[in-house]
Amino acid sequence: MGAQYRHNHYVPVWYQKRFLPPGQINQELQYLDFQPGFFIDGRGVRHEKRAVKRLGFKFCFAQDDFYTVNLQGVDYTQVEQTFFGPIDSNGRDAVAFWDSFDHRTGDSGKKPDDPFNDLMLYMSTQKLRTPKGLGWLTEQARLRGRSDDKNMMLRAMIDLRSLHNAVWTESVWQIADADQSQTKFIVSDHPVTVYNKRCGPRSQWCRGYNDPEIWLQGTHTIFPLSLNKISILTNLSWVRNPYQSPVGTRPHPNPYRGAIFNMTKIQTLRHLSEEEVRQINFIMKSRALRYIAAAKEEWLYPETFVSKSDWNTYGRGYLLMPDPRAIAIGGTVMWGGGKGGPGALDEYGRPPWHPEFEKESKSFLEAKTLYRFQGEFARLFGPYRRGQSFDLGDRGIEKDSDELHAYHLSLEEKFK
């Protein structure tokens, strides 16, 4: 059994490397341990160990035999060798693809065979494979009176590897960048991070290994793609109605089903300010379990500039929200022919025989709140769009005309 499969990285080395500035000679990160421990000197005096160390990738986010399975006294490394191998390999190419994705060029250089599904599988697995993710699985097993044996938890991780895919597929996607910020993104020991404005770090949803579920209305999923790029996934129902409870459940939350992704609706070209990058880094640090890392030590301390007490008001309450002016009502997709015959799914993944198929479109309730939000967003952030999508062959609107901006402003009052 190869020793290389027993030193397990729960955040892959290839992913860590994406957080080094171009041209940096030393291949090391500044690595912060929230629990550095203590040592006793020769005089018997107790000292706290240094919390930040400069370490190579081999020593960051890794643990010996973290994925090793023991069966009848024999250690097996198949989880590392055969399960994570292809997921990481395909995930590496997919992350690189989305990091450089741009509607304007029509492609982003070398395109993997299936960049969307490869990214979804990598992200969903990454959310479960960390100490925090496996800790959460263990707690769920105990709550249900099931075995919390390590071997069983690794089996559960494999079985649940696509748990998040349907909800993320139906989310509104942004790819934002930090190119105008001196501060860049950090990487944490739980890099697929979630944020819900109602669920502060001390809330019941965030205790121990817990995170707010991704199918809660107001939960955003954030995943840094590199030092300078980040993907932000937001429930469509939250963009259409941010006035409802953030901890209510989104329509059709069942994760075990098919879903349809529309690449043209991805919002790109959002340039984050330094304040916004620091707020995002603070969220990632707050949701990490024990370790974070960055190219520069000062980036490890976003709390120097960001207050935990402002958790629900970052970015005027809309830090991670995509631009609602690019969002429309409806979204049912229909198809015909093929081996499976014709079919359809609405924007929340419900087929025509579902009792709530197209419920939101037919009731006009989401339309009213979306129009109101479009007006509020225009008032708060002005005529320039915060991200552009690709619609009907058009790259999208960068700035609303005076007439369109005035129209959007009128919606807030009209639909209150």
Residue 46: phi and psi, rounded to 5, are -90, 130
Write b or e for each residue in 73-87: b if 16 or more Cβ atoms lie within 10 A of its Cβ, otherwise e: eeeebebbeebbeeb
Alpha-carbon Rg for the chain in angstroms: 22
Distance separating alpha carbons of residues 168 and 256, to the nearest angstrom: 12
Domain range summary for the chain, segments of one domain joined by +: 3-322, 333-414
Other Cβ atoms within 10 Å of 67 Cβ, number: 23
Does residue 340 have a pLDDT over 80? no
DSSP bridge partners of 48: 38
Distance separating alpha carbons of residues 157 and 195, to the nearest angstrom: 22
Encode pLDDT of 215-239 as tens digits: 999 999 999 999 999 999 999 999 9
Q: What's the average model confidence in pLDDT over 77-81?
A: 80
Q: What pLDDT does residue 137 have?
A: 93
Q: What's the average model confidence in pLDDT over 74-78?
A: 64
Q: What pLDDT does residue 81 have?
A: 80
Distance separating alpha carbons of residues 85 and 309, to the nearest angstrom: 41
Residue 279: CB partners within 8 Å, gap ≥ 6?
A: 302, 306, 314, 315, 319
- The share of the chain scoring above pLDDT 70, in percent, equals 94
Distance separating alpha carbons of residues 387 and 49, to the nearest angstrom: 44
Distance separating alpha carbons of residues 413 and 416, to the nearest angstrom: 5
Distance separating alpha carbons of residues 155 and 60, to the nearest angstrom: 25
pLDDT band, residue 190 (cuts 50/70/90): very high
Q: What pLDDT does residue 106 have?
A: 54
Residue 239: phi and psi, rounded to 5, are -65, -40
Q: What pLDDT does residue 1 have?
A: 46
Q: What's the average model confidence in pLDDT over 40-46?
A: 78
Rounded to 5°, the CA angle 143-145-149 comes to 95
What is the pTM for the complete model shown?
Answer: 0.94
Q: What pLDDT does residue 278 have?
A: 98
Q: What's the average model confidence in pLDDT over 206-218?
A: 96
pLDDT band, residue 296 (cuts 50/70/90): very high
